[in-house]
Amino acid sequence: MHMFTRKTEPAAPANESFMPTQSGARLSRGVSIKGSVKFLNELLIDGEVEGTIDSPGTLTIGEHARIRGEIRTKSVKVRGTVESNIFVTERCELQAGCTLRGDIEAPRLVVNENATFLGSAKVGTGKSLPQIVLNNQ
C-alpha cells in the first residue's frame, strides 16, 4: 500500500503564449486589465489593458494586444493595437502590422512598412517632452 502518490503535471503546449522572460514580466494573451499598470524594467503585453500604462522602463505591445489608455514609458515597441496617446523619453517603434490611433511624442520615432498610424507625431528633443515618474505606493 502506497501512502503517497505522485501526480504528474501535463506538459505545457508548445504553442502556449506564456514564456517567462529573465529580464521582464509578461501579460499574456487572454488576460484583461482595467486600471493603471506600472512597472520598473520591462513588460510585454499581449492581452488587453484599459487604463494608463506608466513606467521608466521598456514596453512591448504584442501582436494580440489591445491597449486603450495613455502610455508613458522610456521606450515602446508596438505590434498590436493602441487607441490612445504615447509619450516616451527615448524611442517609439511602430512595427509592421500594428495599428495606432493616437498621438506620439518621442525623441525618436521608427515607423515600419505596413504599420497603421492615425494621429500626429511630435518628434525630437525638447523641454515639452514628458517626464516619467513612478510612484511606489
What pLDDT score was predicted for residue 80?
A: 97
- pLDDT confidence bin for 13, thresholds 50/70/90: very low
Grid cell listed for 106: 518621442
Q: Which of 66, 74, 57 is nearest to 27 (CA)?
A: 66
What pLDDT score was predicted for residue 9?
A: 41
Asked if residue 68 has pLDDT above 60, the reply is: yes
What pLDDT score was predicted for residue 83?
A: 98
pLDDT, one tens digit per residue, over 82-95 is: 999 999 999 999 99
Q: Strand 81-82 vs strand 99-101: parallel, antiparallel, or unpaired?
A: parallel
What pLDDT score was predicted for residue 126?
A: 60
What is the chain's mean pLDDT, rounded? 82
Overall average pLDDT of the 44-72 stretch: 97
Asked if residue 113 has pLDDT above 80, the reply is: yes
What pLDDT score was predicted for residue 82?
A: 98
